Amino acid sequence: MTGGRHNGGRRRVGQYSRPNMRGIRRPAGPTARRRVPAGLGRIRHRTRTRTRPRAAAASSTSGTAASPRRRFDLTQVLTLGAVLVSLVFAIPQAKNAEATLKATEAQAENLRQQQLTDRFSKAIEQLGTRDNLDVRLGGIYALERIARDSPDDQPAMVNVLTAFVRETTKRDPQGRCPNQPPTVDVQAALTVVTHRNPRDNDPRIDLSNVCLAQVDLKRAYLRYAYLAGANLRGADLRGANLETTSFDNADLRGAYLQGGGYADIAGDARYAVAPTNLLAASFRGADLTGAYLGGAYLRNAFFNGANLTGAHFTGADLTVADFTGADLSGTSLTCTPARDETGVEFALFCR
C-alpha–C-alpha distance, residues 128 and 185, integer Å: 12
Alpha carbon distance, N-terminus to C-terminus of the chain: 151
3-state per-residue secondary structure call for the chain? CHHHCEECCEECCCCECCCCCCCCCCECCCCCCCCCCCCHHHHHHHHHHHHHHHHHHHHHHHHHHHHHHHHHHHHHHHHHHHHHHHHHHHHHHHHHHHHHHHHHHHHHHHHHHHHHHHHHHHHHHHHCCCCCHHHHHHHHHHHHHHHHHCHHHHHHHHHHHHHHHHHHCCCCCCCCCCCCCCCHHHHHHHHHHHCCCCCCCCCCCECCCCECCCCECCCCECCCCECCCCECCCCECCCCECCCCECCCCECCCCECCCCCECCCCCCHHHECCCCECCCCECCCCECCCCECCCCECCCCECCCCECCCCECCCCECCCCECCCCECCCCCCCEEEEECCCCCEEEEEEC
Nearby residues of 193 by Cβ (< 8 Å), 6 or more positions away: 157, 158, 161, 162, 165, 205
Query: Which band of pLDDT confidence, cut at 50, 70 and 90, is reported for residue 59?
Result: very low
- Mean pLDDT over residues 104-122, rounded? 86
- Full-prediction pTM beyond 0.75? no
pLDDT at 337 over 80: yes
Q: Are 195 and 158 in contact (CB under 8 A)?
A: no
C-alpha–C-alpha distance, residues 50 and 324, integer Å: 117
Q: What is the pLDDT of residues 232-246, one digit of tens each?
A: 999 999 999 999 999
pLDDT of 336 = 84
204-351 is classed in which CATH architecture? Answer: 3 Solenoid (2.160)
pLDDT of 319 = 92
- Of the candidates 201, 87, 220, 105, the residue with the CA atom closest to the CA atom of residue 154: 201
Q: Which residue has the higher pLDDT, 310 or 37?
A: 310
Query: Which band of pLDDT confidence, cut at 50, 70 and 90, is reported for residue 266?
Result: very low
Segments making up each domain of the chain, as ranges: 93-179, 204-351
pLDDT of 200 = 87
Q: What angle do CA 230, 182, 180 make, to 5 degrees?
A: 85
pLDDT of 34 = 55
Query: Which band of pLDDT confidence, cut at 50, 70 and 90, is reported for residue 329?
Result: very high
Query: Which band of pLDDT confidence, cut at 50, 70 and 90, is reported for residue 22?
Result: low
pLDDT of 35 = 55
Torsion of CA 240, 243, 246, 250, to 10 degrees: 30
C-alpha–C-alpha distance, residues 22 and 3, integer Å: 14
